[in-house]
A and B are shown apart, each in its own frame.
Chain A
Amino acid sequence: MQGSVHIHIESHRCCYDFTLRKPVTVLADDGATGKSTLYRLLSFRAGVEISTSCELIPLTEFTWRAALEYCKNKRQIFFTDEYHHFALTKEFADLFMQTGCYLVMITRDTPKFLKPCDTEKCAVKTENGVSEFVVCDK
């Protein structure tokens, strides 16, 4: 997958509207901004409206390896939450980079096995009820 991907996710209470510009988006900010709420919305998506050209896949401790190994569709975007330390491993990075897909990872750790040039660090900012990804200062 190449280029920008626009994603709109909406529930009764929350609205996320953001664009991914690089293969890896790292969400790390001050806390209580709605990062894990986004992951939760994707995990339990009954009643959640999603508008995007890609398939959104929240990974878990038990599904990530199979999801990456058997990935046939390059238009997938994987999501990991803060406590998913598997996303920091070399095995994960190697498998992910073979997929050609995009990744949104919630972590304050440095994903050192992923290429920095493919990575954008963002924070979630909410204004007028809409949460966006804002690029952090380098």
Chain B
Amino acid sequence: MLNIWFSESPYDVPFDEYISQPDPWFDNQGGEEFITGALEREMIKAIDKSEVISCNLIQSPILGAIPPSYLSGTVKTLVLINNFPEKIFNANAMGNLAAPWLLKIAEQKDIRIRLGYIMKFEEPFKIRILNSDTIVDSYKEYLLAAINYLSAGS
């Protein structure tokens, strides 16, 4: 299941396993070792429109041959979430394109993210709001929960 902690500040996350900057964390902790899996290739193709040639090489239609460090923050964070489910990642590094992939990963395992904006999920889904330890299964319920913790508006 997908578990979300809402907080306005990227620092306000009360979990020891929290990674606030997934993009550089991917670069510095060998994130490239995980990009050759079937799901990872699929996500990189769908979001970055790029082909994984090897764990050290990506073919981008715009940038040409690039290292994995040049992947988007959205894809890097998704790869980490799929491969480090024990951690909680700052999902503000990802745009709305990540939403269906998060739900797909969450079908197989429990994953946790921090959100500081209202990511658009499409029903059907079941999401646990960690702030209140409640489960929401409609976009309206999700929205009400998010607004409750993101008062500055996003």
Contacts and interface: CB of A to CB of B under 8 A. Distances in A.
- Same assembly: yes
Contact of B72 (A13, A32, A85, A112): A32
Contacts of B96: 30-31
Contacts of A83: 20-24, 73, 93
Contact count band on B: 20 to 34
Interface stretch (B3-11, B104-112, B122-130, B139-147): B3-11
Contact of B21 (A13, A85, A109, A110): A85
Given A32-B72, A36-B23, A82-B73, A108 B95 contact: yes
Interface of B: 8-11, 20-24, 47-49, 62-64, 70, 72-75, 92-98, 116-117, 150, 152-154
B152 A110 contact: yes
A82 B150 CA distance: 19
A85 B93 CA distance: 11
B75 A32 contact: yes
Given A14-B63, A88-B9, A108-B117, A31 B73 contact: yes
Interface in A22-49: 28-32, 34, 36-37, 40
A67 B117 CA distance: 29
A83 B89 CA distance: 12
Contacts of A88: 9-10
